[in-house]
Structure 1
């Protein structure tokens, strides 16, 4: 068996190939041009066939899709995808590829036994349906951000001329307010800028509406999405964003495992006698999942009196920001339990809070 480490960039792949003894068999760079990649991986497959095949390891990045698709076509027995590690002071592409192949070689026995690798945070590849859902929800988030940016620029033009008081509606954007802005008298340059921003607002609003239709169609027949939608303030977009970033919920042995996976648990910095030092949350997982959970948290605190009653004591002790993160972590635990036990939000929330009360009562010293 051969062990292939790939440091991927936009224009080239840096390759490090080891044999079963751990010795380097090949070090080189390969252009990402399709014909060059096809030529290299064809020769690699011919060489590896005589030695039992090969396994590849790649760091996750924003353009892994094409590489992960072609590796099985050229005889790769397994592809391991990991999150990038912290950057070293001395860093080159060759060093990175060398470290990846070494990591793969040292974990060869664990992979034969079907165990996860050690020394890196392994990424589980999503299914085709979940990968499409992840992309759609990211496009929806970007469209919402661009629409908000166009709205803020329009408001800024009005503030420069102190015209915000003349807007016919209190909320913006609205049909009446947009019609008023199209006929508003402004200096020539500002009038042209206003027209451009109105066009941008209309374009991004249309894209958001189109994506909402696609998201609703993507959710059809998905029982997990329907259960997640029982959370206050969680519609199709938020539910699909979370479900497609969980994948198989049974790979998380406990509810807090999902909170840790999404980077919502505090970091630890223990050394010597200084133990129990807890820092900020690790932010090690999906930024999109944390962002959606932050939006859902605001709705839960408005519409769920039970969660709000749990939130208030933490807010009084530690402040609102830390308390909201605690609610996000609690929601991650509830979401995992909802998906595993096939229960609604209210059932999982009440079961978790009752379990916590029993634990506190059991640990309370007798009077």
Structure 2
């Protein structure tokens, strides 16, 4: 099926014979009528588009298998000068029959719902950032100094803003943006509450929170992107899925050249990993030692991307082995989990009872955990220093 917004072109391939099946409407009733005419052992192939999930949910109950193809890789394999819906449908059928169809994993309903919520959250965050930038631009246009408060959009910042001399129209525009900012803030808290409730009992998230730099928002975003970790056979596959793998150029006898990262895959998950890398660079431990080593050679931007790739590899091992990060800081992890509970809407504990994250409030506990992490960081630095002094082994001498 070559799917567009409202119709799909159908091609049938049976016993090596290809024939056209005409067009099928993509209303739910039209799809159900089409699916009822298919056999239980039929396989249906279509490319990934915006409405693929809904089409798959209708067809799955009537056929043996529904396969979703990667549209980018299909075009790379079978790009044609003459391109029509009929030809595209026929190419999908022939690629699948010959075993060359690049398939896409179909997530379950819970993962799809999580992905939609994460996407909505990212959209709201972008809108809030745009509104804040517009307010800052208004102040800069009228030569108003920076706000002395840490947060211009907090209580103190808004009080300072209301006392600034602005033209009437600009003041109305700023107030309108502040009201929109508050409304989006309410929507953001509601989405975060739903996301937190959906992963409260997920053991994978608890393991991921043990990794330095990963907070609840990043962990939820990565879980929605990864889905079933079993579909990634190696950590390199997961890195490639996030688009953090370098492009490689090699021809003939020339040595391979590595370029920029591919930036293919889920962009929001890649951005979250980079965000986690910057956080890990501020926290003592082996990940910060890795960041600093790359920073000294290539600069901090490349170091952040390399650390993001290292965190993705760590995530693969943590989820595959179902084990916590080796350099977990238990009190900090308990603090993260407690933040998740509060985000999900659970009541705060009162009455003098100690909660699960009470140890994190003790400076002695935090200092002790930080000292262990700093020791691990120094160990990593010494290990790399010895490796660098020794240099790579000469393969001819072995």
Settle same-fold status: TM greater than 0.5.
yes
Q: Which residue of 1 aligns with 2:194?
A: 214
Structure 1's 180 and 314: CA in aligned 2 closer, same or farther, altered over 3 A?
Answer: closer
Q: Is the 8 A contact 2:246 2:258 kept in 1?
A: yes
Check conservation: 2:318, 2:325, Cα contact below 8 A: yes
- 2:369 aligns to what? none
1:84 and 2:91 aligned: no
SS at match of 1:272: coil
The aligned residue for residue 112 of structure 1 is: none
RMSD of the TM alignment (CA)? Answer: 2.8
Indicate the larger mover: 94-103 or 292-301.
94-103
Report the alpha carbon displacement of residue 359 of structure 1 after superposing the two structures with TM. Answer: 9.3
1:23 to 2:3 alignment: no
Provide the C-alpha distance between the structure 1 equivalents of 2:153 and 2:67, rounded to a whole number of angstroms.
47
State how 1:74-153 maps to structure 2 within 5 Å: 75-85=62-72, 87=75, 88=79, 90=81, 91-107=83-99, 118-120=100-102, 122-153=103-134
For 2:30 and 2:108, how far apart are their aligned partners in 1? 28
Q: Measure, in 2, the Cα distance between the counterparts of 1:300 and 1:287.
A: 20
**Distance in 1 of aligned mates of 2:17 and 2:157:** 70
> 1:32 and 2:32 equivalent?
no
**Counterpart secondary structure, 1:210:** helix
SS in 2 for 1:343: coil
Shift in CA distance, 359/162, structure 1 to aligned 2, threshold 3 Å: closer
Equivalent residue, structure 2, for 1:70 = 58
How far the C-alpha of 1:168 sits from its partner, in A, is 5.3
Aligned to 2:320: 340
5+ residue gaps, structure 1: 1-5, 108-117
Q: State whether residues 212 and 287 of structure 2, in contact with CA within 8 Å, keep that contact through their aligned partners in structure 1.
A: no
**C-alpha contact 2:243 2:263 (8 A) present in aligned 1:** yes
Alignment of 1:176-215 (within 5 A): 176-182=156-162, 184-215=164-195
**What does 1:225-236 correspond to in 2, within 5 Å?**
225-236=205-216
Unaligned runs of 5+ in 2: 329-372
1:250-277 alpha-carbon deviations (Å, 9 max, x no partner): 3323222211222221222222222412
Superposed displacement of residue 84, structure 1? 1.0
Alpha-carbon separation, structure 2, partners of 1:137 and 1:93: 33
C-alpha distance in structure 2 between counterparts of 1:36 and 1:310, whole Å: 56
1:343-362 map, 5 Å: 343-347=323-327
Aligned counterparts of 1:284 and 1:22: Cα–Cα separation in 2: 35
TM-aligned CA deviation for residue 185 of structure 1: 4.9
Shift of 1:209: 1.5
State the TM-score, normalized to the length of structure 1: 0.83
Structure 2 distance, partners of 1:152, 1:249, is 38
Confirm whether residue 61 of structure 1 aligns to residue 46 of structure 2: no
- Post-superposition CA distance 1:102-158 (Å, at most 9, x none): 111112xxxxxxxxxx452x2211222222211111111111111111111111111
